[in-house]
Amino acid sequence: MHIPHLLQKSLLTGVLSLSFLASTVAQEISLLASETGIIIGTSLALGDGQFTMSIPSIINQDIWKPVKPEVKVIDDNNLILNYPNGAEIKVSIAGTKIALSYANIPAEATRILMGFSINREAYQGSKFSFKEDALTPFPEEDTRRILFEGKAKVFTIVDPAGVGLAISGPDRKHTLTNKGPEGWSQFGYMFSYVLADHPGQSEFSLEFSPASGR
């Protein structure tokens, strides 16, 4: 059956539009405030596609003992965190962005720490990158080691199907480890917002967006 050229073009445009729409919908990201942190909903094929960004901890000097807060969940989009040292951090969600505003941070505090664990499926063909560099496969070996440690504005993780999540924000220190810190049996991602690098500021934000790659 002969299909007129204009109709062919129209059908092709429709298919491409539906394909783009499906791709966009498939990579939608949701954020939800909870007592345990910010729940990030994605369509990544890593576990159930869900990550929990931990409640911010405050690090004092070089002592690796985070100061943890009392958590008040105001609603699905807002948290207020009150720390034993008098500091307060407010976390607000707007769409796919998290804004953190902080006050009364004591002089001995050096950084704000957040992070999440990455499911063991990351061993099976997933990739990561920092600083918008080329994607690097997660290692298959099960030994603990640091995969990246340094400053960057973007961290990206992509599953074997090419569906990914990018986290962007102010220039800050990132650490990605195999096995993660104590209590994390898989990969662990952490970032440190170094207060001395941002004098005079009292807030910063993180943006969560879809990413793709093979």
Over residues 132-153, the pLDDT tens digits come to 788 999 887 767 778 898 989 9
**DSSP label at 77?**
T
17: pLDDT strictly greater than 50: no
User: Does residue 164 contact residue 136 with C-beta atoms inside 8 Å?
Assistant: no
Q: According to the model, what pLDDT value does residue 5 have?
A: 45
In-domain check, residue 142 = yes
Residue 84 has a CB neighbour count (10 Å cut-off) of 10
Per the structure block, which two tokens stand in for 74?
Answer: 């105001």
- Rg of the chain taking only CA atoms, in angstroms: 20
The pLDDT tens digits for 74-92 are 999 999 999 999 999 999 9
What sections of 44-139 are H helices per DSSP? none
- Average pLDDT in the 205-209 region? 94
In-domain check, residue 37 = yes
Q: Are strands 97-103 and 163-178 parallel, antiparallel or unpaired?
A: unpaired
Is the pTM here over 0.75, yes or no? yes
Q: What are phi and psi of 74, to 5 degrees?
A: -75, -45
In-domain check, residue 200 = yes
Task: Look at 10 and 149; give whichever has higher pLDDT.
Answer: 149
First to last CA, the chain: 38
Q: Provide the domain limits for residue 119.
A: 27-212
- Lowest mean pLDDT segment, chosen from 10-19, 46-55, 72-81: 10-19
CA atoms within 13 A on the CB side of 200: 0
The pLDDT tens digits for 101-136 are 999 999 989 999 999 888 766 667 889 999 878 899
Q: Which long-range contacts (CB under 8 A, 24 or more apart) does 75-84 make?
A: 75/33, 76/32, 76/33, 77/33, 78/33, 79/33, 79/55, 81/55, 81/56, 83/58
18: pLDDT strictly greater than 50: no
In-domain check, residue 140 = yes
Q: Which candidate, 199, 197, 153, 144, places its Cα nearest to that of 174?
A: 153
- Lowest mean pLDDT segment, chosen from 82-96, 159-173, 177-191: 177-191
Question: For all residues of the chain together, what is the average pLDDT?
Answer: 82
Q: How many domains does the chain have?
A: 1
In-domain check, residue 21 = no
Per the structure block, which two tokens stand in for 39?
Answer: 């729940």
